[in-house]
Amino acid sequence: MIKHSVRAVIEAARLVPSVRVAAAADAEFAAAAVIEAGIPVVEITLTTPEALRVIEKLTKAHPHAAIGAGTVIDAATAHAAIDAGARFLTSPGVDVATIAAARDRGVLVFPGVFTPTDIIAAMHAGADFVKLFPCAPWDGVEYLKSLMAPFPSVPFVAAGGVTLHTVADYLRAGAIAVGVGSDLVPRQAVYDRDRSWITELARRFVTAVEAVR
């Protein structure tokens, strides 16, 4: 899957589910459940044990889905994730070398930003999207609206505490997509291997996104 195709998948789904779990088998189950529920985008955070192996396995099993690596904070890790098959990279902050590594390898990248200075640095470095992170500790929707005024052409992904009840608000405020974690992939559902629970939550998130279109 080439870069512009990955971008198109994310922009169409408007959801970037993030899987942060305690075991590789949990990550594989959670990601497969999300994809099979109809959301063709999954980010595997590199805090997950054996995350690179999980990314490689998922990319092969789901070639039409955009499987990404999250919590990528340096160039060496970026290259390792790309070698494993990651189709996009995300980071909690701005690391210019990480952005450069992704750009040089033709892989979509969206670093974490919070201030206007972060946003300018990320875009000048060549970021494809910027991830407004974290949103939950603040009034993220209103803050995003205030950032859209000086940065109307910047593609924001809102993440860090986005819930089913706020996803539509972030999209209406101008985000091109939202990152979602445990509200879509509850740890108990993963632990219990309750695919129907995740499927129902995915349906609700997709419905919330469709209501904004």
Give the HSE-up count for residue 141: Cα atoms under 13 Å, Cβ half-sphere.
11
Cα 92 from Cα 95, distance rounded (Å): 9
Q: CA nearest 54: which of 92, 93, 81, 36?
A: 81
Q: Which has the closest alpha carbon to 111: 88, 134, 136, 92?
A: 92
Closest CA to 66 of 19, 25, 24, 108: 108
Quote the CA–CA distance of 213 and 171 in Å, as a whole number. Answer: 9
Given 3, 28, 131, 200, the catalytic residue = 131
Active-site residue, 131 included: yes
How many whole angstroms separate alpha carbon 30 and alpha carbon 14? Answer: 19
Q: Which of 28, 43, 50, 142 is catalytic?
A: 43
Within a 10 A sphere around the Cβ of 149, how many other Cβ atoms? 8
Residue 108 near residue 7 (C-beta atoms within 8 A): yes
Reply yes or no on whether 56 is catalytic.
Answer: no
Active site residues: 43, 131
